[in-house]
Structure 1
């Protein structure tokens, strides 16, 4: 059986995102962040987006361009501390922000990708992180019910890929990307190194192609990515 070639132009791939969509965006700061896909989303201008990302990047880069362009309705993040602009928007009531402990965010995404409804945890009890969440008691101990996260789409950056969507991540860029690739209805991966199908060693693949819907073969990395090459 011949495997399908999933390569698309960046314009065509991102055009599949509609207004009001929820999007997971890989990366931890700079490493693994799909800056090219973000820039194309800014250019196309889809509105009322819900973004799930570990962080809000720094002011003037990454998803901050989406914030500055008025495209974001809600952020689900672990922190905003490096982005004063995002903090200003949150404090002014211009965007909704949901905070998660970093491990909890990763596990909520993993649960979504594994077909689970959620999980229970004792992290955050008695803090703002648990406010409004359902409590569960097991063997006399209280836990917070953390619901799984799934989205309409995920933007992923890979070190290399093939046309079927098999992905390999470099070092710390392997942070949230593999989890997010499992937890979205439409996964769009970008890579500077897109190889022919069959060129990747099977044991080197971190995310198998069946999880990926579209592959964007980049000619150049976005200038913001050059800060840390991961």
Structure 2
């Protein structure tokens, strides 16, 4: 099965449709699938629901899809650092489903593992719990959260072999692994593709069984908040 594609546009060919759902890896601007996001912008696909920790920043990352009004709904845990996100949400142009960060990661992981739902204490007594099933366990109240399964997952890794095994670099692993597993199809962009057998099996973070298409390219890797000490 061919997994390596020449470009982001080719890797997404035949996978996109209006109204689809997408899970995107990354945390802030760390480990985001920059090239695949740009290809989504160029495709013109619209009314998309995106599950991602956040929505990039103004003019970069998933924020580009906000600028072009291609996103209908975000399932996120953090909406700071993006004035356009806030503006669209407050004006009613963008639907938003808030999730605590750990809950969002677990919803993705559960969806990828075939688990339809799970109970958690996080969010009990807040707006997060509104409209959800409540259940007591050992005298404590929990709420039911459902697993997330999406049409497409887009992730960013450090290395891949040609069979799709992925290695992430340090904190860039973040949401990428659970996001990859919950997609019916997963497209990964990487910095380097190596032959099968080149990766130490003990260092593989995501097995190739989850990855359907791979691309490589040059990444900007913009820094979201640059903090330096005084000279």
Give the SS at the match of 1:124.
coil
Paired position in structure 2 for 1:117: 116
CA displacement 1:70-118 (0-9 Å, x = unmatched): 1101000001111111010000000100111101111111111111111
For residues 152-193 of structure 1, the C-alpha deviation after alignment (integer angstroms, 9 at most, x for no partner) is: 111010001111111000000111111111111000000121
- Within 5 A, what are the aligned runs for 1:55-204? 55-204=54-203
Partner of residue 6, structure 1: 3
CA RMSD of aligned residues (A): 1.3
Distance 1:168 1:112 in 2: 21
Match of 2:24? 25
Deviations 1:19-46 (A, max 9, x none): 1110000000111101110011001110
Q: Aligned partners of 1:96 and 1:162: how far apart in 2?
A: 38
Partner of 1:35: 34
Aligned equivalent of 2:223 = 227
Aligned partner of residue 161 in structure 1, secondary structure? strand
C-alpha separation in 1, matches of 2:216 and 2:43: 19
Name segments (4+ residues, structure 1) moved above 3 Å: none
CA distance in structure 1 between the aligned counterparts of 2:143 and 2:121, rounded to whole angstroms: 6
State the Cα deviation string for residues 116-156 of structure 1 (Å, max 9, x = none). Answer: 11111111111111111111223443210011111111101
How far apart in 1 are the matches of 2:96 and 2:131? Answer: 14
**TM-score, normalising length from structure 2?**
0.92
Q: Distance in 2 between matches of 1:17 and 1:203?
A: 34
| In structure 1, distance between residues paired with 2:120 and 2:177 | 22
Q: Extract unaligned runs of 5+ from structure 2.
A: 225-231
For structure 1, the 5+ residue unaligned runs are none
* Distance in 2 of aligned mates of 1:142 and 1:208: 36
Cα distance in structure 2, aligned partners of 1:29 and 1:122: 26
**3-state DSSP of counterpart to 1:192:** strand
- Report the CA distance between 1:197 and its aligned residue: 2.1
